[in-house]
Structure 1
Amino acid sequence: MLVPEGIISPIITPMHDDELINEKELRIQVNRMIDSGIAGLFPLGTNGEFYALTTDEKLEVIRIVVDETKGRVPVYAGTGCISTRETIWLSAKAKELGVDALSIVSPYYVAVTQDDIYSHFTAIAKSIELPIIIYNIPARTGNNIDYTTVKRLAEFTNIVGVKDSSGNFDNTLRYVEDTDRRLAVLAGNDSLILWTLLAGGKGAIAGTANVYPELSVGIYKLWKEGRIKEAMELQIKLRPFRDVMRMGNPNSVVKRAMNLLGYPVGPARGPVAGVNEKIDSALKAAFKLYK
């Protein structure tokens, strides 16, 4: 069974100015990420704007990424939907398209209990024979997946890991310390990549990897080699860009940064597609620190 580890890129979805998917640029970004040493690709995450894509567009993104990756690294498709039924359907379609694993966000918009979350992931795990990463991002979903729920879900061998984007490091520690040790705990907050690794995590799904993949990969490689002081220097180096991300919708800021750096990935899909001069200025100031 696949063990998620290393730096996985939640690859952005490039678009033309009319907000239609830019297949050519998506293929370019797949190769750019792999060439940088990324350990996996995660299409249709938050950075991939899954929330703004139609079902047909989601399937098209998966098809393109799987086709261009050609098995060089694992592809973790984001297939989480509000309902259990739709999540299972989309996951099955992703499997048909050849993905290696699934990343499934907890239900969003609806108010759910921990028992609801457990039942949701149980039904998915029983229906789809693919490795599954549980994706916890309470700021967007309105619920936190408690470590006790993750511990219960570890009974399913195809649930292989959990991505924690809560930003609460104690929550991450609970996943590491108080669930099943076979589960790969992945940082979802880029400011916590090294700290998660030092605590027993396996890697990160890092949005900033879309902008500076070598930097994120470097943190992991240096940690792996035991060069902790040097890894910490790279971790600290991410902070200025992370600070700019907080000035707007984070994944939209990532996409804007890529455009300013010369990667024609187009706009984020509305309602967050507008250019903000204050953010642009802050990004250009931050870029000077990465030369």
Structure 2
Amino acid sequence: MVTPFDDDENVSLPRTKQLIEYLLQFDIAGLFILGTNGEAYTMTEEEKFRFAESVIQVVAGRTKVIVGTGLNSTKETITFSQRIAQLQPDAISLVSPSFVAPSQTELIAHYQAIADVVSVPCVLYNMPAKTGINIDPSSIKILSQHPNIIGIKDSSGSWDNFDGYLANRKDDDFTVIMGSDGKILEALQHGGDAAITGTGNLLTASAVNIYHAFKAGDLEAAKKYQGQVEPLRDVLHEATIPVSLKAALTAAGVAVGPARRPALMPEEGSKLAADIGQVVADYRAQGII
């Protein structure tokens, strides 16, 4: 889920409630907040805590809530994760430390230390393009043994990683989640369990329908729904995360405000603004949104 801001880039609780109610119209399995598209990296810890508190209150048990709490040191991640755990989310998500580039031994120890002392389940988050470190499949053989580490979101785009996680997990209770929106159906075909999808902020029905069509054995329908994601993904790649996504949501009538600078929203009359407007118009014309 994106983090809605007001026009001055402050967290907007009214817009947050509007977005949550929009998403809850669909058969979603849960909300993942304070991730990459959630711009957690631009927010203070106090902002993140108050935002998570608000989301959990608005959701009020109607779906699961996973909260991103990963920071760069083990100590600060433990402190913040324990604070978020007081809100009783369904799980926390732990992105790898960025810039530090720990070894796999250090990474394993980092995650085990957090999971040992946090009272809610932990989902690992692998995004090497942003963090500079990959969680190797061999590390999952160890980490999936921990009773409080229940899964991993993989946004590496690497099938060696994804399939390696499936092969090395302790058992099927350890959830392997696709984080690359263009590969949701293929991930399910590989034996993956779920997806956490940024495009699902707007194309919520398409994301849900990929999963349900696949589970029902209707591969053609699943391919159709997967294909609906591609035009939005194309415009997402034209700008800094989550500029195009926030602009598309607002164009579709779900006001989520701007991205935080240094990311800049599309200028009126620009090619990007036109491309986003056209994608949203096309989705409306096809009844996709």
Q: Distance in 2 between matches of 1:181 and 1:229?
A: 30
Match of 2:143? Answer: 153
Offset at residue 21 of structure 1 (A): 0.8
Structure 1 unaligned residues grouped into runs of 5+: 1-10
- Normalised TM-score (structure 2): 0.94
Which gives a bigger RCO, structure 1 or 2 (Cα 8 Å, sep 6+)? Answer: 1
Contact 1:148 1:179 in 2 (8 A): no
Match of 1:177? Answer: 167
Question: Could you list the runs of 4 or more consecutive aligned residues of structure 1 that deviate by over 6 angstroms after TM superposition?
Answer: none
Q: Could you tell which deviates more after superposition, 227-236 or 171-180?
A: 171-180
Alignment partner of 1:46 out of 36, 41, 53: 36
Offset at residue 122 of structure 1 (A): 0.7
Offset at residue 44 of structure 1 (A): 0.5
Offset at residue 181 of structure 1 (A): 2.9
Residue by residue, what CA displacement relative to the aligned partner does 1:77-112 show, whole Å, maximum 9, x if unpaired?
100001111111111111111211111101112121
Contact 2:32 2:66 in 1 (8 A): yes
The alignment covers a number of residue pairs equal to 281
Offset at residue 288 of structure 1 (A): 3.9
Match of 1:228? Answer: 219
Alignment partner of 2:203 out of 196, 212, 217: 212
Q: Distance in 2 between matches of 1:21 and 1:81?
A: 20
Match of 1:104? Answer: 94
1:6-45 aligned within 5 A: 11-45=1-35
What is the percentage of aligned positions where both structures have the same residue? 37
Structure 2 unaligned residues grouped into runs of 5+: none
Offset at residue 252 of structure 1 (A): 2.1
Q: Distance in 1 between matches of 2:281 and 2:171?
A: 41
Offset at residue 130 of structure 1 (A): 1.4
SS in 2 for 1:75: strand
Offset at residue 255 of structure 1 (A): 1.0
Residue by residue, what CA displacement relative to the aligned partner does 1:112-168 show, whole Å, maximum 9, x if unpaired?
111111011010010112111100001110111101111110120111111000111
RMSD: 1.2
Offset at residue 50 of structure 1 (A): 0.3
Q: Distance in 2 between matches of 1:76 and 1:242?
A: 23
Q: Distance in 2 between matches of 1:288 and 1:27?
A: 25
Asked if 1:203 corresponds to 2:160, the answer is no
Q: Distance in 2 between matches of 1:72 and 1:29?
A: 14
Contact 2:18 2:254 in 1 (8 A): no
Q: Distance in 2 between matches of 1:14 and 1:197?
A: 30
1:21 is matched by which residue type in structure 2? Answer: V
